[in-house]
Amino acid sequence: MTRIAVVGARGMLGRDLVAGLDDYEIDPFGRNELDITNSSDLAEALQSYSIVINAAAFTAVDDAESQRDEAFAINADGPRNLARTCRVIGATLFQISTDYVFDGTASTPYGEDAVPNPQSVYGQSKLAGERAVLAENPDSTIILRTSWLYGAHGTSFPRSILQAGLSRQHLDVVNDQWGQPTWTVDVARMISRLIGADISNGVFHTTNSGKTTWHALASRLFELAGWDSSRVRETTSETFSRPAPRPAWSVLGHDEWLTRGLPAPRKWEDALAEAWECGLSRFALPEQP
């Protein structure tokens, strides 16, 4: 059976990768078990695996602006260490990346071959990670760009919106940023398809398809909860001052899936509906004392 190491397995995405890839022999590695910024222990720890999935990342987008060195250490140097190790042990690396590698100025979906132009330190560090792993292990590295992730664990936009909806009469949510809400369980399923197809290299946009705004997503979550969606009010990005700029357009294309003979990812609305039934709905319930 294929042995897979999931690095960054204690995070929101990592936990669903471990649970969702149950057709394989999976071993989870949190930061306490495996520090990817320390290259000395990687070869021994990973030598028995044929696939390494790197979900470890510095994801605090605003903090990255003032913690550049740490962001690059985790998002660029760490992946480089993993790719070098994978080349030595003969393993395929799946490197999780982000829509933030693009500048957000497009009006049509970004193709897998679109020229990156990150506008934040976080985006710059993730792009540096992409380039590092491809330089170290080009024949056995898959880049997976994802965006607007949500899942059963950790912090996410749906969880925050639903919990705020329990206590606040109105929520002001931006309606000028477009993207693709992506369920972490679907990311695991997409990775499983790539593994099953024996694909070992390439860039894949690993998001649910379609597009929406944060405001429209929040309104849909209110509707699923049975709440009055008019409580979600439209606002613009200018009303929220943040250290790191957010892409106004984070819609990614999925041509590479079709080119490789695989189905394109399903619509975000369908994924959200299933996620709601699979436990996302609990965030709309008051916390028990």
Q: What is the pLDDT of residues 103-115, one digit of tens each?
A: 999 999 999 999 9
Which residue has better confidence, 73 or 240? Answer: 73
Query: For the residues 14-41, what does the mean pLDDT come to?
Result: 94
Q: Are strands 202-205 and 141-146 parallel, antiparallel or unpaired?
A: parallel
Which residue do the tokens 């132009």 mark? 117
Q: Which residues contact 11 (CB under 8 A, 6 or more apart)?
A: 55, 56, 57, 59, 153, 154
> Can you read off the two tokens belonging to residue 13?
């995405």
Please check whether residue 24 lies inside any domain of the structure. yes
Tell me, what's the pLDDT at 41?
84
Please give the average per-residue pLDDT across 91-112, as a whole number: 98
Does the residue 125 lie in any domain?
yes
- The residues facing 212 across adjacent strands are 179
201 has a pLDDT exceeding 90: yes
The pLDDT value recorded for residue 241 is 86
- Active-site residue set: 122
Query: Is 204 contained in some domain?
Result: yes
Question: Residue 204 — very low, low, confident or very high, per pLDDT cuts 50/70/90?
Answer: very high
Task: Give the total number of structural domains in the chain.
Answer: 1
In a domain, 25, yes or no: yes
Bridge-based pairing state of the strands 171-174 and 149-150: unpaired
User: Span 243-271, mean pLDDT?
Assistant: 97
| Residue numbers of the domain that contains 204 | 3-155+182-209+251-265
> Residue 110 falls within a domain, yes or no?
yes
Mean pLDDT across the stretch 62-77? 98
Q: Is the pLDDT of residue 206 over 80?
A: yes
Flag whether pLDDT at 289 surpasses 70: no
Signed CA dihedral, 183, 189, 192, 194: sign only: negative
Q: What tens digit of pLDDT does each residue of 108-149 get?
A: 999 999 999 999 999 999 999 999 999 999 999 999 999 999
pLDDT band for 288, please (50, 70, 90 cuts): low
- How large is the average pLDDT for residues 171-184? 98
Quote the tokens at residue 184: 């972490």
Within-domain flag for 37: yes
- Asked, for residue 287, whether it belongs to a domain, the answer is no
- Tell me how far apart the alpha carbons of residues 69 and 64 are, in angstroms, rounded to a whole number: 8
Report the residue count for the chain.
289
User: How confident is the model over 257-263, as a mean pLDDT?
Assistant: 97
Domain-embedded: residue 171: no
CATH code of the domain covering residue 69: 3.40.50.720
Contacts of 81 (CB under 8 A, 6+ apart): 36, 37, 38, 39, 42
